Amino acid sequence: MAEATSRHAHLGQIFTELRIFVARLRREWNDRSPDITFAESVLLNAVRRAEGATAAGIASEIGIDKSTVSRQIAAVERRGLLTRQSIEGERRAQLLTLTPEGMRILDTVDEMRLAAIADRLKTWTDEEVATFERLLSRFNEGR
C-alpha cells in the first residue's frame, strides 16, 4: 500500500514538473524568438519531418483540430514560411512545403533550443545527460 501511495505521489510530482517545464518553455520561447511563435514552430517542424505533408496529416500528428492547423498554415504561408501546392487527383488536400525562409527560421530556432538545453544541463555529467535522454525517449514512446 505504501509503495502504491509513493508511486502515486511521484506521478503527481512528474505531472507538476512537466507542466512547469511546458509553461517555462513557452514563456522562454516567446521571449527569445520574435520571428515565430511556439505553435508555429511545432507546425513547421511537423511539415519538415513529414514527406508529403498535408493539413490533415499534420493535425493528426500534432494532435490539434484541422481547422486550427488550417489557420496556422494560412498565417505562416502569408509570411512566406510555407507553400501549398495542389495534389494531382485530390480535390481538397494540398502538399505543404517549407520555403527557404521557413527552413532558415527553423534552423535558427533549433540552434536556440540546443543552446537553451545545453545551458540547463551544463552541470550534468555526460552519463546523466545520456540517462535523461534515454528515459525521456522511453517516456515519449509510451513504454
Asked if 124 contacts 132 with a C-beta cutoff of 8 angstroms, the reply is yes
Distance CA 73, CA 84 (A): 9
Helix, strand, or coil (residue 96): strand
C-alpha cell at 87: 495534389
Given the candidates 1.10.10.10, 3.40.309.10, 1.10.3720.10, 3.20.20.80, the CATH classification of the domain at 33-141 is 1.10.10.10
Q: Which helix (H) or strand (E) holds 117?
A: helix 100-120
Residue type (1 letter), 99: T
C-alpha cell at 97: 512545403
Each of the 143 residues of the chain gets a pLDDT tens digit; together they read 566 779 899 999 999 999 998 888 878 777 777 678 888 989 999 999 987 899 999 999 899 999 999 999 999 999 999 999 988 887 788 999 999 999 999 998 888 888 888 999 999 999 999 999 999 999 988 86
Distance CA 35, CA 25 (A): 16
Q: What is the pLDDT of residue 30?
A: 75
C-alpha cell at 29: 520561447
Asked if 46 contacts 102 with a C-beta cutoff of 8 angstroms, the reply is no
> What residues contact 43, with CB distance under 8 A and at least 6 apart?
58, 62, 69, 72, 73, 76
* pTM over cut 0.85: no
Extents of the domains making up the chain: 1-32, 33-141
Residue of 22, 57, 129, 137 lying closest to 49 (CA atoms): 57
Q: What is the pLDDT of residue 78?
A: 96
Distance CA 139, CA 14 (A): 11
